[in-house]
Every structure is written in structure tokens, then in C-alpha cells.
Amino acid sequence: MLPFAYTTVSGTTNAAALLAQAPEAMFIAGGTDMLQLLQESVIAPSVLIDINGLPFHGITESDEGVRIGALTRLADIMANETIKRQFPVLGRALQETASPQVRNMATAGGNLLQRTRCLYFRDATVPCNKREPGAGCSAQDGQNRMNAIFGGSPDCIAAYPGDMANALIVLDAELEIRSGNGERRIKVEDLHREPGNTPHIETCLRPEEIIAAIRLPFSAHARNSHYLKLRDRASFEWALVSAAVAVEITDGTVRAARVAAGGVGTRPWRLPDVERMLLDRPLNEAVALTAAEASIRGADARPGTQFKLPLLRHAIERALLMAGGLQ
């Protein structure tokens, strides 16, 4: 680990100003991914700015929905009764995230911004465009079993590894983004970028911006939402493929549908083709099967990721059956 300085802040403006003074500074909150990246010399910040003193803690409820402060720990979100009842896909996704220890430390905002688990990004001794722009991508013809089948480029096929973001997308969640200049709102769906030829730029956040909160609107499809995660071992493992679905069914017909997948995209991956196959139809076995077949349209699988095509289809189908009360 290279030397770095450490400092704390208590206001957003201060945090933004500090970051502006030291461009190689980084924010630290829960630290669960940060410490791994430091230990492996994947990153080398000049200063770590501890933002735990910012007033972004806790979960509040209104008539419209729920607001989750970005510094709220994953364990606290998972345990919240309103979240479990109104947004089951989120509770389930968090239950299947990391380990109890990590969930006690990791924050909501940090979880969204976690870095990829691509083997070559995490190994500082081999080329990686995301870590070192222009160095080359070792994953294209390397061990890419954990890599993406959607949204890749010749420069990067690293998969976005998280669970929570997939759940937030099917819940129409928004982010409050703060900086020294005020606040703006974006959809969680618009946070992450595809790599293109700048894989080191992963989100639409500007350097001095901080995620302050996640906003979840109540809805009928949110209440009927499900998460299914498939992985190499039963627990404490990254997704090979995961499916997040939220479906509103009224009088036997699908009125609203949101479907996203994890473990397959260079960013959390929404599946609009699947959603279209569901709308205005009854959600039965035949419809679930046909809709799930649309999930792999446009996929670009390598020999190492070929297995994700049938896995994704089956995961989407099963998650839809769960949403339809058929499984």
C-alpha cells in the first residue's frame, strides 16, 4: 500500500473543496472495497477523505416513498420493515450481498460505486485499461468467466459486480447528488456508463460530486418484486447471473414491468425487450418463457462466458414465475 494522508470532513462543500485541492484524493465511507483496492495496489490515492461525518445517514419515509441516506449501512437497509414489505427485491438483493461482516460496514453509496471484480483489474501486475488507460485489456482473450456479455468494448469487458443497483433500477430509484454547487437528481439507471474507449470512467458523477441519498417511490410493481442470484457457492459470492424483476399484475394482466440483470453487463443491465414481451399480457408459464428468451438478444458471449446465455434465460424465467406467483 502506498503512503496516503487521511482527513475527515463534516460538510458537503468542504468535501468538494478538499477533493478539488487534491485531485488524487478519494472519498472513503464503509471502506470495504477501498481497503481491498489499496491492499492490492489497484489504486493509490494521495489523501483519503473520510465522509462518515456527512449528514447522509438513516432511512426516512414519506407518503411518496423512502429515502435512504447514502451512508446507511447495508445491514440497516436490509433489516428495515418498510423496505422488506414495499421493496422486497431490494431486501433480497442485500440479503444475498457479501457477508454479514461486510454488510455491517458497507454503505449504500459505496455499494453503488464498487469496482469490478475482473481478475485483471484486481491484479496490478497485468495490463488493464480500466486501471491504467491505454495499457490494454487482458480479459478479452483471458480468463473471462466472470466478465460481461452486454455492453463490452474492445477496451473492456469487465462486469459490474453489484446486486443492489440491479434491484434499484427495477424500483425506478433516483439518486440525490450533491456538490459544492448544489444538488441534482439522476435515475440510478443513468449512474453507470458503458466502457467504450474510456473504461476508467465508470459513472456520470463529476469529480467533486457525492451521492447523498437514494429515493425509492412506492408502487404496485415495487411491492411485487423479486431477486434471484445464481453463483458458484451458496452464499458470500459474486453473481454469475442475477435477475431483478418488478411486475404489477391487475385483473390477470401485466400493467407494469421492470426487468434487470446482474453479472452480465458492464453496467447494471436493464432488459427492455423482456419488459415489452410482458406488458398487457397475462403472466403465465408460456409468456414467462417467451419473454425470458428475449433476455439474451444482443449478447456478445466469449467461450468463457457462453454458459451465461442459458443461465440468464433460465434466471429471468424463474424470477418472472416468482413474480407471477407461479413458483
Partner 1 sequence: MAQDDLDPGENEGRIPQARRLAEQALAAERSGDEDTADRLFAEAERLDPAAVADVLEEDSATAAKPRRQLRAAPLRRAPGLIAKSGPTAAGLHAWHPRGSTGAPRTGGHKTSFAITLNINEQRHEVTVDARATLLDTLRDQLRLTGTKKGCALGQCGACTVLCDGQRVNACLMLAVMAQGKSILTIEGLAGDAGLHPMQAAFIEHDAFQCGYCTPGQIMSAVALVAEGKAGSDEQIREEMSGNLCRCGAYANIVAAIREVARREE
Chain centroid to Cα 256, Å, comes to 22
**CA-closest candidate to residue 68, choices 76, 59, 77:** 59
User: Which one among 31, 161, 180, 217 touches partner 1, defined by CB under 8 A?
Assistant: 31
232 binds partner 1 (CB under 8 A): no
Q: Are 70 and 214 in contact (CB under 8 A)?
A: yes
Angle in degrees, 0-180, between the axes of helices 285-293 and 308-323, rounded to the nearest 10: 150
Q: Choose between 60 and 99: whose C-beta lies nearer to partner 1.
A: 99
Q: What's the CA gap between 304 and 283, in Å, rounded?
A: 33
Q: CB of 244: closest distance to partner 1 in angstroms? A: 20
Total interface residues for partner 1 by CB under 8 A: 55
61 binds partner 1 (CB under 8 A): no
Q: Choose between 76 and 317: whose C-beta lies nearer to partner 1.
A: 76
**CA-closest candidate to residue 18, choices 231, 232, 208:** 208
User: Which one among 99, 181, 197, 327 touches partner 1, defined by CB under 8 A?
Assistant: 99
Q: What's the CA gap between 215 and 65, in Å, rounded?
A: 7
The 3-state DSSP composition of the chain as helix, strand, coil percent (nearest 5) reads 30, 25, 45
- Show the binding pattern over residues 122-161: x = contacts partner 1 (CB under 8 A), - = does not: -xxxxxx--xxxxx--------------------------
User: Which one among 9, 15, 16, 43 touches partner 1, defined by CB under 8 A?
Assistant: 43
Contact residues toward partner 1 (CB under 8 A) are 1-7, 21-25, 28, 31-32, 35-36, 38-44, 46-48, 50, 52, 75, 98-102, 104-105, 123-128, 131-135, 198, 200-201, 207, 234-236
